[in-house]
Amino acid sequence: MSRLSDLLVAIGAALRDARGEAQARIFTEVRVELDRFDLGDPAFIADPYPLLGALREAAPIFWYERTGQWMVTRFALVQEVLRDRRMGRVYEHRYTHAELGKPEPDPRWQAFRDHERWSLLQLEPPDHTRIRSLLTKVFTPTAVAALRPSIEARAERLLGTCVERGRFELLADYAQPFSVGVICSMLGVPEADAPQLLDWSHAIVKMYELTATDAQKQAATQAAAEFMDYTRAVIADKRRRPDELPKPVKDNKVVEMASVVLPTILVLVVFTWGFKAYVKLFTAPPDSYEIQVRARQWSWEFEYPNGSRSFGELHVPVDRPVRLVMNSQDVLHSFFVPAFRVKMDVLPNRYTSVWFQATKPGEFDLFCTEYCGTAHSGISTRNLRRKGAR
């Protein structure tokens, strides 16, 4: 017994050492990848995917010292974070910087923060919900679809200009003028101001970079201040001379209720109609002539109410409902009479049923439509309709 105990202790110690070595190796690999992770590295910016892939494999979540943030690397976790109502992009609507242990913002960039204050990307409910609802009332699918002809004409006009040049830069000569022009037309801003808007945009987005210099931050702040002044002037001008913009859709309780109630009633009517047809199709009448059907490789056996049986031929009465109660003795089969438009799977260890009513005497083919073995093609028989039941 002592030898066995000593052996178990030795095995346990070896396993702990192996597990510790594995954990240390994994920790070292994660540490190496984290040391390589630098969001401002030009090589990383040029091709971030190899390092991001390595981080995703090494660590699903880690603390990034350089920015003071938790980083989540895998899709499922990122999706959970984005869906979690407790998470958000900003916190100033609920907490002060001091409450979260954060320093006060640099007053030099106040204009930029004023610019971002009402950005939908930086808002949380209820402000985000309120402003988004205002936008959705204007940019409805109908209003956006109405812009299609003018957008197509703009695209053709720009392409024509590029073709005339013979040589052009896709982004600078086509993509940027096209996108900025469309945005200007949607917002009612003069297209002559598009180059200035583009310059402001290029300067402002530099503030989002983790390695922005003070000069870039100053340029972004100045651009944000100038853009806000420009926007206020445009709004004041539009109030004096309104454009022919789509009118916001006003609430109409009658229309809203009708759009909900009428489709619901229609769905219920169609459902009830279909359900009644389904019940009628699969529920045999009470006075049905019941026949027991047994399928096997590779034949059909039919047992009638009087106890008699037939093999290879099914005899049914005319002008009387017939109900077939079926099961399989071995594998999956399928009962099919094309002339009757009747088909039902026949399963082992389970009963299925189907019913029909013959309307005239005759002989008709009966098949198995489920491959049930090498002699599957031979499992066919005749269906005889006669005036009297056996």
Question: Domain extents for the chain?
Answer: 2-87, 120-240, 251-283, 285-386
Average of pLDDT values for 106-128? 88
- Omega prior to 298 cis, within 30 of 0: yes
Contact 354, 324 (CB under 8 A): yes
- Where is average pLDDT lowest: 111-115, 182-186, 223-227? 182-186
pLDDT of amino acid 263:
92
- Helix 214-240 with 194-205: angle, nearest 10 deg: 140
Of the two residues 26 and 367, the one the predictor is more confident about is 367
What is the maximum alpha-carbon separation in the chain?
A: 102
Does the fold of domain 285-386 match that of domain 120-240? no
- Mind listing the pLDDT tens digit for each residue in 222-276? 999 999 999 999 889 888 887 665 555 566 778 888 888 999 999 999 999 999 9
- Where is average pLDDT lowest: 82-96, 123-137, 237-251? 237-251
pLDDT over threshold 60, residue 134: yes
pLDDT of amino acid 5:
44
DSSP-derived pairing of the beta strands 313-317 and 380-386: parallel
The beta-strand segments (E) located in 250-373 are 289-296, 299-303, 309-311, 313-317, 321-328, 333-337, 342-346, 352-357, 362-368
The region that residue 119 occupies, defined by phi over 0 for left and psi between -120 and 50 for alpha, beta otherwise, is: beta
Average pLDDT, the chain: 83
The region that residue 343 occupies, defined by phi over 0 for left and psi between -120 and 50 for alpha, beta otherwise, is: beta
What does the block give as tokens for 366? Answer: 């009966």
The region that residue 151 occupies, defined by phi over 0 for left and psi between -120 and 50 for alpha, beta otherwise, is: alpha
Q: Per CATH, the architecture of 285-386 is what? A: Sandwich (2.60)
The SS3 of residue 183 is: helix
pLDDT band at 23 (very low <50, low <70, confident <90, very high): very low
Which secondary structure element, helix H or strand E, spans residue 115, and what is its range?
Answer: helix 110-116
pLDDT of amino acid 33:
66
Distance spanning both ends of the chain, measured CA to CA? 80
pLDDT of amino acid 107:
92
- CA dihedral of residues 40, 45, 46, 49 (deg, nearest 10): 130
Q: Per CATH, the architecture of 120-240 is what? A: Orthogonal Bundle (1.10)
pLDDT of amino acid 187:
80
Distant-in-sequence, close-in-space partners of 155: CB < 8 Å, separation ≥ 6: 178
The fraction of the chain above a pLDDT of 90, given in percent, is 30
What is the distance between the alpha carbons of residues 317 and 336, in angstroms, rounded to a whole number? 18
